[in-house]
Amino acid sequence: MTSNDDNDFLTSVDNSFGKLPDHLLIEIFIRVPVSEWAQISCVKKHWASLFRGECLWQAALTRAFPLAGQAKRWPGPIPRGLSRRRYVALHVATHIFSLDGEVDEIVGHTYLFLKEQLELSTMPPPSGVLHGTIIGMFSPSS
């Protein structure tokens, strides 16, 4: 093939791929390793909007954590939020804390919450604040 033929082929593939409906793009994207998602979202503005949207994260949550619907839901002061937050919390719980196959969303949310608080804080918190927050998160809600 000449380089002109290569360019025609690549243009044809790009045009074909660009015509896929969103639900098929999402099915493709959730099968790609998560580590590649940031790069994929930079290819096209439309793809970036899919990664910001709820549908992709809900599909990824269902695919990666099929039992997530049966897992403990976040009962504490942090709202459950969108599927993206749930996905990250479950990913953190299983990959950082290795919970022997048990999916525990509360552990993931606690980790994310404390990480966010420490990133936002310009000064170290008073000694009892984080301790009290952790106790409050794990005590049963009324």
Looking at residue 28, what is its pLDDT? 92
Separation between Cα atoms, residue 60 and residue 33, nearest integer Å: 11
Single-letter amino acid, residue 103 = V
Q: Which long-range contacts (CB under 8 A, 24 or more apart) does 25-30 make?
A: 25/50, 26/50, 26/55, 26/56, 26/59, 27/59, 29/56, 30/56, 30/59, 30/60, 30/63, 30/64
Separation between Cα atoms, residue 119 and residue 17, nearest integer Å: 39
Give the pLDDT confidence of 1-24 residue by residue, as tens digits: 455 665 555 455 456 666 789 999
* pTM summary value: 0.63
Higher-confidence position of 2 and 42: 42
Contact (CB, 8 A) for 50 and 26 = yes
Looking at residue 87, what is its pLDDT? 87
Give the pLDDT confidence of 77-133 residue by residue, as tens digits: 556 567 888 888 888 888 777 766 666 777 888 888 888 877 776 665 555 555 445
Helix (H) and strand (E) counts in the chain: 8, 0
Separation between Cα atoms, residue 102 and residue 28, nearest integer Å: 27
